């Protein structure tokens, strides 16, 4: 026991220091409750008399400070009935949101009979779920209950229309909000008399909440008042966006591609995973290759080396054959004979290679047979080359697309999204490749992204859903996607969850429903149905058609009309040939002039 006490003192001091560093308010009671929850996993609390209001405030803080989360809390409040103002003491959110609350009331201090009351909890909030209702009486002298009913009844089995408020925004296909369709929910962030208060909600994650409420008889409402983004939770326990609405008691559950962000999980709770989401990018489509080296493209470097070796052998053979012919028929001198034979071999070889006829007269059978063999060989080579060049010019080759993380980095491709939430899960990663990619990431508004998608070659984030569909922002239009391809791999992936407040009593049953949801295949069914009903199917098909395989030979590229860019290399060869011919002609003219 002495060791346990010392350890508790050490834990208390360490926890006190952590709370100070985070700038969080606490007192001795908050610290004791925090340690009780963390170390002993205490879930049942007995509170007497005037300590009730102090305990409720302290427990709300301690439950958020604690690392360990409790889902089966029970609270017993002992009080004197004459001293209890039910309306004043039960006005906090605590009595509205906790189902397992028991009040043990006696009429005066020494009374032996007790009234046992609990908060209503179920039913619409307008009917005051925090009000106390009598469930039984207990006579201490006879040790008998009047009705002998459970003191902590299961209120979660039938919520009797109690509202479950969703904090979300229109982010398809996870959450869909339509103001012009027949409504199935109410937006409590909009005035009741407004035309926008009645909405139609749908979505792959929204359907999970709708199914939950259908099973447990609760009413789904949404609140979009502050949910203009996913939002953030800050160390001082304040927040903004959809997540901030959970801390502000404006919503019960937050959905819409919420990843399991650790900083937000510190002060909130999260459900079992809902959807596997892969973060990837639409990147600029590869450009067609049209440059000066196109005439070299039909053959690989090794094949060009083989062609040059073949031409060299032809030249050498023709030189020897022509030299022998001169010795047999012309009696040429050694010096002039070798020079004439070398010119004959070089000129004839290149003439045959470019399918030009020679003007020399071959008298020996050896030279004639060799010329015939070289002619056949060069016809085969030039035919293969011509076919390859024609296919390259009409079915163009492409350069590399930045469709992998390494290629994105090599090409220093800028990529962007409309929120920091796109990359918050990988900030601080140990992967050097990921950190270098993050240096090229930027956050822009939807209007800026719409303009950039049409005018600048860069990458744009989207989500790859588990069953072949994509969550695509409205800033990516059909026209901009025509010039993009989707990456072959995900930058990273996350599992989306639902964020809920600490101590949310419905979390355990919500998780059980999600288990059944996945095992029965509803996740695939609702993804297909929601995408078909609420997304632009043409854009979905357009993105799917841009998927590149690892080898570009599998890409279906239609023939295109030839342009001047296709002839740049050929014109360069022509200009080079004309220049060399002019230089040779000038040298010949000058040599002839000065020799005479």
pLDDT at 6 over 80: no
pLDDT band at residue 175 using 50, 70 and 90 as cut-offs: very high
Q: Dihedral of CA 119/122/128/134: which sign? A: negative
What's the CA gap between 79 and 89, in Å, rounded? 11
E-assigned strands of 330-426? 415-417
Lowest-confidence region among 332-341, 409-418, 459-468: 332-341
pLDDT at 465 over 90: yes
What's the CA gap between 442 and 312, in Å, rounded? 57
Which residues are CB-neighbours of 10 under 8 A, at least 6 positions away? none
For 130-163, the pLDDT digits (tens) are 899 999 999 988 889 999 999 999 999 999 999 9
Mean of pLDDT values over 539-555: 67
pLDDT band at residue 3 using 50, 70 and 90 as cut-offs: very low
Mean of pLDDT values over 96-113: 88
What's the CA gap between 404 and 416, in Å, rounded? 16
Is cis: bond before 573, omega within 30 of 0?
no
Helix 28-40 with 52-65: angle, nearest 10 deg: 50
Tell me the three state secondary structure of residue 253.
strand
What's the CA gap between 121 and 235, in Å, rounded? 31
pLDDT at 434 over 80: yes
Q: What are the structure tokens assigned to 179, written together?
A: 């103001």
Which residues are CB-neighbours of 481 under 8 A, at least 6 positions away? 282, 539, 542, 543, 546
Higher pLDDT, 99 or 80: 99
Inter-CA distances, 77 with 2, 80, 342, Å: 32, 10, 114
Per-residue confidence (pLDDT) for residue 4, from 0 to 100: 56
Per-residue confidence (pLDDT) for residue 550, from 0 to 100: 41
What H or E segment, with its residue span, contains residue 452? helix 446-455
Per-residue confidence (pLDDT) for residue 2, from 0 to 100: 41
Q: Dihedral of CA 440/445/449/455: which sign? A: negative
Chain mean pLDDT for the chain: 85
Per-residue confidence (pLDDT) for residue 136, from 0 to 100: 93
What H or E segment, with its residue span, contains residue 2? helix 2-22
Per-residue confidence (pLDDT) for residue 93, from 0 to 100: 87
Mean of pLDDT values over 414-420: 92
Mean of pLDDT values over 323-336: 66
Q: What are the structure tokens assigned to 100, written together?
A: 């397992």
Q: What are the structure tokens assigned to 506, written together?
A: 């419905």
354 and 396 Cβ atoms separated by less than 8 Å = no
Mean of pLDDT values over 394-410: 82
Per-residue confidence (pLDDT) for residue 88, from 0 to 100: 67
Per-residue confidence (pLDDT) for residue 325, from 0 to 100: 77
pLDDT at 399 over 90: no
279 and 494 Cβ atoms separated by less than 8 Å = yes
Length of the chain equals: 596
The domain ranges of the chain are: 12-145, 298-392
Mean of pLDDT values over 153-181: 93
| Intrachain domains 12-145 and 298-392 with the same fold | no
pLDDT band at residue 593 using 50, 70 and 90 as cut-offs: confident
Terminal C-alpha separation, the chain = 123
- In CATH terms, 298-392 corresponds, of 3.40.30, 1.10.287, 1.10.150, 1.20.950, to 1.10.287
Per-residue confidence (pLDDT) for residue 5, from 0 to 100: 46
Inter-CA distances, 212 with 21, 115, 205, 208, Å: 40, 34, 11, 6
pLDDT band at residue 188 using 50, 70 and 90 as cut-offs: confident
CATH class of 12-145: alpha beta
Higher pLDDT, 17 or 518: 518
pLDDT at 187 over 70: yes
Mean of pLDDT values over 315-339: 72
Q: What percent of the chain has pLDDT over 90?
A: 41
For 60-84, the pLDDT digits (tens) are 889 988 888 888 899 999 988 777 7
Per-residue confidence (pLDDT) for residue 553, from 0 to 100: 44
DSSP secondary structure string, 25-69?
---HHHHHHHHHHHHH---EEEEEGGGHHHHHHHHHHHHHH-SS-
pLDDT at 24 over 80: no
């Amino acid at each position: 026991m002495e060791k346990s006490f010392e350890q508790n003192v050490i834990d208390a001091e360490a926890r006190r220091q952590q709370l100070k560093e985070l700038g969080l308010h606490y007192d001795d009671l908050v610290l004791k409750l925090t340690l009780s929850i963390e170390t002993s996993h205490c879930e049942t609390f007995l509170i007497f008399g005037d300590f009730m209001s102090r305990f409720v405030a302290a427990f709300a803080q301690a439950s958020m400070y604690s690392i360990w989360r409790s889902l089966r809390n029970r609270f017993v409040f002992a009080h004197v009935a004459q001293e209890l103002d039910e309306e004043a003491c039960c006005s906090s959110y605590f009595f509205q949101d906790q189902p397992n609350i028991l009040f043990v009331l006696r009429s005066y201090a020494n009374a032996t009979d007790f009234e046992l009351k609990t908060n209503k909890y179920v039913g619409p909030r307008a009917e005051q779920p925090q009000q106390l209702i009598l469930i039984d009486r207990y006579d201490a002298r006879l040790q008998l209950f009047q009705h002998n009913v459970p003191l902590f009844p299961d209120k979660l089995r039938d919520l009797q229309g109690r509202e479950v408020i969703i904090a979300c925004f229109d982010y398809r296909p996870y959450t869909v909000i339509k103001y012009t369709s027949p409504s199935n929910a109410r937006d409590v962030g909009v005035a009741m008399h407004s035309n926008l208060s009645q909405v139609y909600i749908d979505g792959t994650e929204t359907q999970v909440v709708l199914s939950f409420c259908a099973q447990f008889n609760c009413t789904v409402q949404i609140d979009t008042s502050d949910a203009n983004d996913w939002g953030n939770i800050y160390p001082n326990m304040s927040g903004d966006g959809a997540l901030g609405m959970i801390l502000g008691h404006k919503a019960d559950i937050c959905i819409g591609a919420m990843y399991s962000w650790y900083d937000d999980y510190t002060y909130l709770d999260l459900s079992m995973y809902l959807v596997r989401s892969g973060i990837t990018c639409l990147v600029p489509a590869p450009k067609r290759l049209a440059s000066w080296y196109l005439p070299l493209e039909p053959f690989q470097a090794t094949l060009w080396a083989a062609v040059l070796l073949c031409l060299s052998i032809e030249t050498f053979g023709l030189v020897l054959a022509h030299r022998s012919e001169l010795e047999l028929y012309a009696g040429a001198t050694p010096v002039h004979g070798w020079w004439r034979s070398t010119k004959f071999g070089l000129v004839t070889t290149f003439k045959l290679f470019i399918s030009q006829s020679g003007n020399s007269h071959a008298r020996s059978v050896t030279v004639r047979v060799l010329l015939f063999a070289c002619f056949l060989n060069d016809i085969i080579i030039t035919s293969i080359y011509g076919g390859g060049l024609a296919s390259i010019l009409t079915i163009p080759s492409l350069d590399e697309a930045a469709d992998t993380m390494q290629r994105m980095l090599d090409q220093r491709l800028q990529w962007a999204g409309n929120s920091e939430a796109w990359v918050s899960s990988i900030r601080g990663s140990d992967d050097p490749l990921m950190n270098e990619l993050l240096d090229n990431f930027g956050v822009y508004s939807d209007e800026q992204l719409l303009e950039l998608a049409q005018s600048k070659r860069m990458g744009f984030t989207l989500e790859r859903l588990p069953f072949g569909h994509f969550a695509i922002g409205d800033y990516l239009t059909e026209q901009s996607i025509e010039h993009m391809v989707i990456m072959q791999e995900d930058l990273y992936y996350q599992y989306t969850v639902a964020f809920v407040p600490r101590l949310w009593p419905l979390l355990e049953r919500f998780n059980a429903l999600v288990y059944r949801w996945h095992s029965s295949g509803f996740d695939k069914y609702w993804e297909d149905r929601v995408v078909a009903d609420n997304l632009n199917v043409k854009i979905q098909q357009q993105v799917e058609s841009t998927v590149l395989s690892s080898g570009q030979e599998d890409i279906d590229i239609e023939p295109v009309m030839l342009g001047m860019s296709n002839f740049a290399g050929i014109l360069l060869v022509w200009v080079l040939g004309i220049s060399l011919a002019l230089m040779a002609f000038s040298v010949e003219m000058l040599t002839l002039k000065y020799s005479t």
